[in-house]
Amino acid sequence: MNKFEYIYLDIENKIKENIYPVGSLLPGETSLATEYNVSRETIRKAQRMLSDNGFIFKKQGHGSIVLDYRRFALPISGLVSYKELSEENNLASTTQVIKNDIIPVPDFILNDVKMSSKEKFIHLIRTRSIAGEVVIIDEDYIRQSIVSEIPNQVAEDSIYQYFEGDLGLEIGFASKEFIGEPADDLDIKYLKIKPEDYTITVRSQVFLKDATFFQYTISRHRIDRFRFQEFAPRHNRFINP
């Protein structure tokens, strides 16, 4: 193991044991170099690893701020199922079905999408727990003319695996909206937050490859457990003649 990897693991452990509390500053590079008897460049390598893994944020002129490492990273773009995210991040996650009913098309969907008012939708509400703590409430409205039913055992596993693998649906794309919303009764009951708290809510309209709308999702996240991240390259808008 390289020296900077050892230092990374040691500081990570100190953050997890609250020796360096969330929101505090790590000791400066010179102090850490003296403590570990290494060069400042070795300390910088360890700090880069800590930053890359979400343990610290290096703010110029202020030092390295300890972040809440318990926040899970979720991508902003792309269309990835919750099960796929859980497996990619090695999360000990469970899903519980709260509601699985057939309802008339909701007015808010009729206002956004052109369809018959006689359409029916599957109304599915599920909680997502990580390490025994509910951190997400997913509320799905799925067009019954495309998906006739979703068994509870499927809903507790992966509906996208069911859609694509069992039903042969070709899911194409989604439009997403991210918004901070006050807690509602569901949030207070299942996320265990206070009425004055907020959630980060992701509202998604999902379409098949032929651009047929088939799913509307409202996904509420505990604001203290998630961070949303995206790789955003800058494209040169100015081309020299």
Tens digits of per-residue pLDDT, 135-191? 899 999 999 999 999 999 999 998 999 999 999 999 999 998 989 999 999 999 999
Largest CA distance in the chain: 73
Of 1.10.3210.10, 1.10.10.10, 2.20.25.90, 3.30.70.920, the CATH number of 3-66 is: 1.10.10.10
Residue the block writes with tokens 């390289």: 2
Q: At residue 83, does pLDDT exceed 90? A: no
At 133 the pLDDT is 84
CB burial of residue 83 (10 Å; 0-12, 13-18, 19+)? middle
Q: Break the chain into its structural domains and give their ranges.
A: 3-66, 72-229
Strand partners for 199:
181, 222
User: Yes or no: is domain 72-229 CATH 3.40.1410.10?
Assistant: yes
User: What one-letter code names the amino acid at 127?
Assistant: T
At 53 the pLDDT is 74
pTM for this structure?
0.67
At 72 the pLDDT is 66
